[in-house]
Structure 1
Amino acid sequence: MQQGRIIFLVVLTTIFLLLDWYVFQAVRTVWHDSPPTTRQRIYALYWSISVFSVLSVLSYNFLGTEWATWKTLSIGFTFVFFVSKLLVAVVLLIDDLGRLFRWTAQVAVSHGSNTQGISRSEFLSQAALVTAAVPLATMSFGILSGAHDYRVRRQQIYLPNLPKKFDGIRLLQISDIHSGSFFNKRAVQGGIEMILNEKPDIICFTGDLVNNETKEVNDYIQLFEKLKAPLGVYSTLGNHDYGDYRAWASAEDKRKNFEDMLLAHRRLGWRLLLDEHLPIQVEGEAIALIGVQNWGTGRFPKYGKLHKAYQGAEEYPVKILLSHDPSHWDAQIRPEFPDIDLTLAGHTHGMQFGIEIGDFRWSPAKYRYKQWADLYREGRQYLYVNRGFGYIGFPGRVGILPEITVLELRSGRA
């Protein structure tokens, strides 16, 4: 296993360095007439970024969780640099193919005599570097600002069978905290204060408390345990909460990690629903809150047992389900449980990238998930997909900002 990782890192480092060398040709072309001191500084800065990228990849693989902030930020900016340089390489490749074509034509016409190499286009080199500046600036802003630019999104949902005592109840949903990715504790605290300022009647968390292992949340217990609501705080598990994405030394270690996850929810004061339901009561009237473990289509695990969780909930006039993965809705919930009125999900993050202007929404997530953000309705059933409170992989958000959802439940028909 360790040998395989070393081979992978050697190959990845080689790819990084080859890409850096190729892109450096554009840097040399653009600054070849600059004063020597300026050229040296530009070249030094360029290769310093290259060394930083290699060190980031190595540190991400070998440093422990105590280096979590450094790992998150360094690998994030390495990704930004990689994407930017990849775009430069595409433009350079177009230039090089054109040069090759022109040189081949020159050789054919002159029959190989007195042919000269065709110099790289300075204009295309400049265009390539300008092209790289766009994702570099946009994605860097997404890390420094977008990652914690929390937005409160509000919806009214009309449920015909909602008991009168629940009319106007405010349900707040958060999802996909991914505490292992956090790098700005003060900003996260600001998001929690926004939640508390909403004064919701009930709070629901729909999974992915961590990235890979439970101990990632330890530094944030004191922040998230502040979340309180008169009718309680309830939670369920996401695909990242089981430790499936980490190589464990033994099955016992993985089992212990899961036990720690259950304990973490108790320390937070959140009532974790593991394939079960319970009544939410207001002045003698009640609705059912159902929670299932992760259940998703494709490569994601199906831990949840909705039939088990639902059993006994038939008597309640309204049923609200917490299920992390929105693909569960079409795959099982709607076909088999048509009386589940509202499902709350997360999981997609809107891929942390997209465009939202007014009612227009677009993200690459739409090509993987039919329901990827906001409110959906089929007949009398609703699904709300939260865009996520945190982030994973790329430590930022561009266009699709972190979300705090406030759903006002109303009695009657929309």
Structure 2
Amino acid sequence: MLRWIVFIAIYFMMGYYSLQAIKTASRFPWVYFAFMALSLLVLGNFVYQFTFGINDGRVLSRPRSYAFGFLIAMMTFQIITIIFLFSEDIFRLISGGIQRVFGSSSEFSLPARRRFLSIMAMGIAAVPFGALLYGMYRGKYNFQVLSYDLEFEDLPDAFHNYQITQISDLHSGSFDNRKKIEYAVNLINEQQSDVILFTGDMVNNVALEMEPWKALFSTLNAKDGKFSILGNHDYGDYVKWETTALQKQNLDDLKGIQAEMGFDLLLNDHRYLQKGKDKLALVGVENWGRGGFKKAGDLNKAVSGIHENDFKILMSHDPSHWEDVVIHHDYHYHLTLSGHTHGMQFGIEIPGWVKWSPVKWRYKYWAGIYEELGQYINVNRGFGFLGYPGRVGIWPEISVIRLKKKGMA
């Protein structure tokens, strides 16, 4: 209760401070009242969803996710406005003090706020506010196909120009537009890749979230099949289960759903993809993550029976596994496919110029292709969304990777 009181008090103070900019910029009272009403509506919805709203044991249900998203948008507007107002208030205090000491009047008074500065503050604050709303409305389904060509000296000849489609982090419990998801599934099939690899987090919390989408994702098709691994959300660890047996049953249900959809789920295991006499090893580990995430991945178990010199593709949900374990493992992993970070669903990307997201402060390898010690990783930005119910600048991704043998045309 104390946390709620502190949070609400801070929110009201921020709202009051932001209101000063609106009063300075506009002479129409209805504008003030509209801002206050919107602020109260956003706060009220957030408090309701996280206290009296439907609670099915999940950390972040869809209504809570949207309540959180609207709150983030509103507070972003407030914070940016406050930065401008606070800077001006420092100037006003200094000016008032100088006027009091050196001026002709003995009374202390603050200069009036400058209208143009309040208008500028609101204009700048409106940009991320609008972007966050756009991200919730359309950005989350702005699917991008990102293609990469990777060359290897020891790629088996028969796998030259072999094409992989990687998808990751469906988070099907967040889907709310079937037509958009149908479009994305068709887009995956249009790539006509040799194999489809899914790198974890099929659901947010429970296996039932995938039931409405099972038939649709069953239509995914690739000549050499579909393979998958588990992500941290797939284990049901973020649900308050009545018994451990129920949690285990949930995981078994999800494994069954994946099998029904035609995915070969690799649980610390491997398969060989064969073309004539040539083959490559496809390795899949369970989730292994740094910083409190489940460490069920067992790389040594997964490669038991694989020859050290085999060409290897590793599926591992969390890129911290690549950084902490895979790069320096005794075996050489030519290509690792991960997801997990979502690129934080927020950032700025201009190919060839800018690639930035706050998630880079948590994960060194957070989106796209990286190379270390002659080994590559692709960190997929994710198909779905979680938490903030949108995407801004970091769009949902379908990765298409073409393997090439160096020296072959």
Q: Residues 105, 22 of structure 1: CA spacing in aligned structure 2 closer, same or farther, 3 A cutoff? A: same
Report the Cα distance in structure 2 between the residues aligned to 1:326 and 1:265, rounded to whole angstroms: 23
Q: Deviations along 1:2-42, whole A, 9 cap, x unmatched?
A: xxxx443343333222221221122222223x4xxxx22x1
Mapped to 2, the partners of 1:146 and 1:291 lie a distance apart of 31
Change (3 A) 1:95 1:312: same
Shift in Å, 1:87: 0.7
- Alpha-carbon offset, residue 277 of structure 1: 0.9
Cross-structure match for 1:54: 43
Matches within 5 A, 1:77-92: 77-92=70-85
* 2:282 corresponds to: 289
Aligned to 2:379: 385
How far is the alpha carbon of 1:103 from its aligned partner?
A: 3.2
Shift of the alpha carbon at 1:383? Answer: 1.3
- Alpha-carbon distance in structure 1 between the residues aligned to 2:40 and 2:138: 26
Which stretches in structure 1 are left out of the alignment for 5+ residues? Answer: 1-5
Contact 1:294 1:303 in 2 (8 A): yes
- Asked if 1:236 corresponds to 2:229, the answer is yes
- Which 5+ residue runs of structure 2 have no aligned equivalent? none
Other structure's SS at 2:46 match:
helix
1:72–1:183 CA contact under 8 A, matched in 2 = no
Alpha-carbon RMSD across the aligned residues, in angstroms, is 2.6
Deviation for aligned residue 1:261: 2.7
1:229, distance to aligned residue in structure 2 (A)? 1.6
2:131 is the alignment partner of 1:142: no
- 2:396 is aligned to 402
Structure 2 counterpart of 1:313: 306
Cα distance 1:147–1:250, how it changes in 2: closer, same or farther (>3 A)? same
Residue number in structure 2 paired with 1:30? 25
- Segment of structure 1 superposing worse, 322-331 or 390-399: 390-399
- 1:10 and 1:413 mapped to 2: Cα distance? 66
* Secondary structure of 1:279's aligned partner: strand
Do the aligned partners of residues 383 and 216 (structure 1) sit closer, same or farther apart at CA in structure 2, a change above 3 Å counting?
Answer: same
Residue 325 (structure 2) aligns with: 332
CA distance in 1, matches of 2:169, 2:384: 6
Q: 258-267 or 269-278, which moves further after superposition?
A: 258-267
Distance (Å, rounded) in 2 between the aligned partners of 1:8 and 1:222: 44
1:347: Cα distance to partner? 1.5
Deviations 1:150-189 (A, max 9, x none): 1111122233333333232211100111222223222122
- Distance, in Å, in 2 between the alignment partners of 1:58 and 1:263 is 37
Contact 1:279 1:287 in 2 (8 A): yes
Q: 1:271 aligns with which of 254, 264, 268?
A: 264
Per the TM alignment, residue 64 of structure 1 is displaced from its structure 2 partner at its CA by: 4.6
Instruction: Assess, with a 3 A threshold, how the Cα gap between structure 1 residues 115 and 360 changes in structure 2: closer, same or farther.
Output: closer
Are the equivalent residues in 2 in contact too, given 1:354–1:361 (CA < 8 A)? no
Alignment TM-score, normalising by the size of structure 1: 0.88
Classify the secondary structure of the residue corresponding to 2:327.
Answer: helix
Residues 1:285 and 1:303: Cα distance change in structure 2 (over 3 Å): same
Q: Deviation per CA, 1:270-313, whole angstroms, max 9, x where unpaired?
A: 11111111222234543211100111223333220101111111
Q: Decide whether the 8 Å contact of 2:270 with 2:303 is kept in 1.
A: yes
Q: In structure 2, do the counterparts of structure 1 residues 352 and 21 end up closer, same or farther at CA, with 3 Å as the change threshold?
A: same
Greater displacement, 13-22 / 183-192? 13-22
| Alignment of 1:8 onto 2:23 | no
Find the partner of 2:54 among 26, 49, 63.
Answer: 63
How far residue 404 of structure 1 moved from its aligned partner, in angstroms, is 0.7
- Paired letter, 1:52: L
| Change in CA separation of 1:48 and 1:288 when aligned onto 2, cut-off 3 Å | same
| Sequence identity (%) | 36
The structure-2 alpha-carbon separation of the partners of 1:68 and 1:410, relative to structure 1 and needing over 3 Å to count, comes to: same
**Counterpart of 1:158 in 2: which secondary structure?**
strand
Q: Please tell me whether the aligned partners of residues 202 and 232 of structure 1 are also in contact (alpha carbons under 8 angstroms).
A: yes
Contact map agreement 1:349 1:391 (CA 8 A) in 2? yes
* 1:222-261 aligned within 5 A: 222-261=215-254
Residue 12 of structure 2: aligned partner: 17
After superposition, the Cα gap between the structure-2 partners of 1:7 and 1:260, relative to the gap in structure 1 and judged at 3 Å, is farther
Q: Name the residue aligned to 1:221.
A: 214
The residue matched to 1:156 in structure 2 has which SS?
Answer: strand
Inter-CA distance 155–272: structure 2 relative to 1 (3 Å threshold): same
Contact 1:162 1:317 in 2 (8 A): no
What SS is found at the alignment partner of 2:14?
Answer: helix
Stretch of structure 1 that moved more, 103-112 or 8-17: 103-112
- Tell me, yes or no, if the aligned pair for 1:170 and 1:408 is still in contact at 8 Å: yes
1:201 to 2:190 alignment: no
Deviation per CA, 1:323-378: give whole Å up to 9, x if none. 01112223111211432221111122222223332323421333332222222223
2: distance between equivalents of 1:255 and 1:111? 79
* Secondary structure of the structure 2 residue equivalent to 1:335: coil
Instruction: Say whether the 8 Å CA contact 2:93–2:110 is kept in structure 1.
Output: no
Alignment of 1:150-189 (within 5 A): 150-189=143-182
Residues 379 and 257 of structure 1: is their aligned pair in 2 closer, same or farther, counting only changes over 3 Å? same
Deviation at 1:101, TM superposition (A): 2.9
Matched, 1:210 2:203: yes
Letter in 1 for 2:371: R
User: Which one is further off, 184-193 or 137-146?
Assistant: 137-146
Alignment-mate amino acid for residue 327 of structure 1: S
Aligned in 2, Cα 1:99/1:148: closer, same or farther, shift over 3 Å?
same
8 A Cα contact 1:338 1:381, kept in partner: no
Please say if residues 343 and 366 of structure 2, whose CA atoms lie closer than 8 Å, have aligned partners that are also in contact. Answer: yes
> Whole-Å Cα distance in 2 between the matches of residues 298 and 21 of structure 1?
38
Aligned counterpart, 1:3: none
For residues 95 and 278 of structure 2, what CA distance do their matches in structure 1 show?
A: 80
TM-score under structure 2 length normalisation: 0.89
Q: In 1, are the aligned partners of 2:308 and 2:331 still within 8 Å (CA)?
A: no
2:294 is aligned to 301
Are the counterparts in 2 of residues 158 and 413 from structure 1 also a CA contact under 8 Å? no
